[in-house]
Structure 1
Amino acid sequence: LEGTRWVLDSIDDGTSSVQVLEGTEPFLEFDGETVSGSDGCNSFNGGVTVGPDDAIAFGQMAGTMMACEEAITIQATAINAALAGVITYQVDGDQLTLSADDGTGLVYGAG
């Protein structure tokens, strides 16, 4: 996970996959037990715990509170909700998939 800027490709709401809005670049960067990134509207950082068997848990995030266009705000809300529920990760080549037990998730590509 470390050493790569992971740029969000799509958001999976459990029934379909939605591509990231053009002009936004949500991303994650891992550094030890911390993660920083952007939801396409605001920057954030916080703790992350990577455990055995591809387990991952994101802690409370601190972030900026910028106002953004409605569509971008909706996307950012979906990203943050997905991160809060993520319990597993999988790296396959240059793709990182974060998944929750309810079928939702985020798919990132190595940027």
Structure 2
Amino acid sequence: MNFLRFNTFIAQDVLIFFYYIFAILVPLFLWYLRPYILEKVSFFQAVDKGAISVYKDLDKEKKFLFLLFLFSLFFCMELCLRMVFEAMIGYFDMHNYLYEIATHLKGKSI
């Protein structure tokens, strides 16, 4: 019966595993599939043609600032992802502690 409990299926190790999948593998996978996405999605076709021509026309300082902006945006998204997973870990820890308290107090009168 312990196998069917809620805290058996979601553990910190599972959350950490999925965090690293989303933080490392998904950006690499998207970068690898970038040409396919730009070719097949019509929204990105229009944006990509405009973005490439705008990027090529910038001088070195503005290119550096543009790339710095993109990297900072990427790191902010990684930070948000990290905060979401930390909140889920905290939530599941709270669940475990409340479950332990409830089972410990079961049968005792307050």
Give me the TM-score of the superposition, normalised by structure 2.
0.25
Task: Give the structure with the higher percent helix.
Answer: 2
Greater relative contact order structure (CA < 8 Å, 6+ sep):
2
Give me the TM-score of the superposition, normalised by structure 1.
0.25
Larger Rg: 2
